Amino acid sequence: MQRGRLLYGDTDQDTQDKRGGRALKVLISDDEYYARKAMAKKVFQADPDAEIMGDFENGVQVLEYLEDHPGEIDVILTDVKMPEMDGLHLAQYLFEQESPIEVIIVSGYNEFEYAKKAISFGVSNYLVKPVQKEELKEALDKIIRKRKKYEDRMLSITAKKTQQYLSIEEIAAHEEWRSIFLEPVFRKKEGNPFYLLVIQSRKKEKWTENPEEERLLLKLKEEFSGEWFYFERFQENVLLLFGERREILKSLKHFLNRMGILGFSEVTVGMSLAHTQVGHCAKAYQEAVYAINQRLVDGWGRIFEFSTDFKPENMLSKKKESLLEEAIAEKRCAQAEEITRDILKSCQNTYTLYVTISSIFNLLYHFFCRNGGGERAEGSENHGYMLFSFRTDLYRYSTLSEVEDYVLNIVRTMCEEQETKRYHYIVSELLAYVAQNYQSNISIGELAEHKYFMNSSYLSRLFKSETGQTFSSYLMEFRMRKAKELLESELLKISDVAALSGYNDVSRFIQYFKKMYGMTPEEYRGKR
């Protein structure tokens, strides 16, 4: 492609001008041939990067071109006096259609009424012939500045919307997203220590929809020259704050007090250790999650700091393990539940809670395999991995009693006879699990064996009877709905959308998307 030329055909949409955006695409309209050519020359003198996409004798021809090339043109330079449709009527039509195209009127008449009408139709500028190079340059530069400001604002809005579907871990691991969301703030504070905060409220509404709460978060962000993110999947606010620990804690206490006055008395904060590099964000986030999970034991409405000085204990002693296994084997449900409840209530911190629950689940898995429910290597002391984690399980519960109910339900299913097992709660658990883990590799077989300790065929039938769909169909449709939302963001490539929807194979993702919506992801994005 050449710049500073007349270009009446296809152009490279990715051409970037020296100001950081693509070059201005211009149409010229004048009923005099030589006047059009002279204006084109002046445009190139004023802006060597500009592209003249066509020149026309009247406004009707301009509108025909615009109809055939929607969204292509940035600027129209038009004379006032033309046959069929003059410049003012062209400007009026575009104004009434709410077109984003900028119009510059070029006229031989230095009359107030013409200029007044032009202004009422939203024209960018009114230039009197003969047009001077400096005048035209100033008019085009004004349009470029306006467009750049608009594009920056739209990029900011798009970026804010996009990041809701991500996580701080994904942003930190992805070079392009890291450059958009994290590196700008780290460049300003290079080498300075930062703390990562996770903030949650037991009220489930989005804080981004509450102006006062949003104002308080923005104030924290600005006070410590940091950044604020809201992540939809876990309904969490994440703050990166640069500063002294003592000052940050002081401001956080004031923040919690203000939130309490606003009726948010159960806002809770998890705070990481100090870090200095953008590459440490994922680790800092993990620390903040570990810290905030302590709310399960100590309650909401507090600030929890991560500490390396902890010694998790396994409260499932050998004696209690034998008693629990015996109660399950003999189907003494009430006793098994009582033993489990006592074990969990003895946990003083969430590290101990996590280790203890994992041990209970290992016991259940061992029992499940021994009774023909799953496969385990002969003689192996490892009872298999558990689909239970600090991040996606403990973190999604609000209270210790909710965690107890979850574990007790699993214990209960192990005690009861197959035909009397009350599995309906598991379908709700599965739906919640999918909502938070759809980006991961999920299968009904793994969930049955490593999370619920039950026959996978039975779990499949149960899921279908409760939802009317197979698990695989439900998962695919859920992922496709998320993909549609993600496609709204131009910041994400199709491969990014596929990965964020749970598909490492892009071609497979495209195939499923087309099957569900009748078009490819690219086609869907183009039709928005």
More confident residue, 71 or 376: 71
Q: Which helix (H) or strand (E) holds 55?
A: strand 51-56
Question: Could you tell me which of 462, 456, 461, 458 has the C-alpha nearest to residue 442?
Answer: 456
- CATH code: domain of residue 248: 3.30.70.270
Residues in CB range of 423: below 8 A, 6 or more apart: 413, 454, 459, 462
Q: Give the predicted TM-score (pTM) of the model.
A: 0.68
Residue 410: predicted pLDDT: 86
Host domain of residue 232 = 164-305
CA quadruple 438, 444, 445, 446: dihedral, nearest 10: 30
Residue 16 has pLDDT above 70, yes or no: no
173 and 151 in one domain? Answer: no
Say whether both 190 and 240 belong to one domain: yes
Other beta carbons within 10 angstroms of residue 511's beta carbon come to 13
pLDDT, tens digit (0-9, with 9 covering 90-100), for 260-319: 888 877 899 999 999 999 999 999 999 999 999 999 999 999 999 999 887 889 999 999
455 or 407: which leads in pLDDT: 407
In this structure, the answer to whether residues 240 and 176 fall within a common structural domain is yes
Based on the fold, state whether residues 274 and 324 are members of the same structural domain: no
288 and 383 share one domain: no
Check whether residue 505 and residue 436 sit in a common domain: no
- The span from the CA of 245 to the CA of 249, in Å, is 6
pLDDT, residue 209, reads: 62
Residue 10 pLDDT exceeds 70:
no
Of 155, 187, 202, the one marking the end of a domain is 155
- Render pLDDT for 200-216 as a digit per residue (tens, 0 to 9): 988 765 555 678 888 99
- Which of 468, 501, 517 delimits the end of a domain? 468
Instruction: Yes or no: say if 395 and 293 are a contact pair by the CB < 8 Å rule.
Output: yes
Residue 417 lies in a domain: yes
Q: Is 16 inside a domain boundary? A: no
Q: Which residue has the higher pLDDT, 401 or 420?
A: 401
Tell me, yes or no, whether 238 lies in a domain: yes
Helix, coil or strand: residue 197: strand
Boundary of a domain, candidates 279, 305, 331:
305
- CATH number of the CATH domain containing 501: 1.10.10.60
Let me know whether 421 and 445 are in one domain. yes
Is the pLDDT at 384 greater than 80? The verdict is: no
- Residue 110's pLDDT is what? 67
**Does position 426 have pLDDT exceeding 90, yes or no?**
no
Are 186 and 287 in a shared domain?
yes
Q: Are strands 194-201 and 236-242 parallel, antiparallel or unpaired?
A: antiparallel
Asked, for residue 4, whether it belongs to a domain, the answer is no
Residue 311 within any structural domain of the chain: no
- Dmax (CA) for the chain in angstroms is 101
Residue 13: inside a domain, yes or no?
Answer: no
Euclidean distance between CA atoms 37 and 41, whole angstroms: 6
Instruction: Please give the tally of structural domains in the chain.
Output: 4
Please check whether residues 325 and 461 belong to one and the same domain. Answer: yes
- Model confidence band, residue 374 (pLDDT cutoffs 50, 70, 90): low
Q: 448 and 361: one domain?
A: yes
- Average pLDDT, integer, range 233-261: 93
Whether residue 109 is found in the same domain as residue 48: yes
Lowest mean pLDDT among 162-176, 233-247, 386-400, 427-441: 386-400
Same domain assignment for residues 184 and 46: no
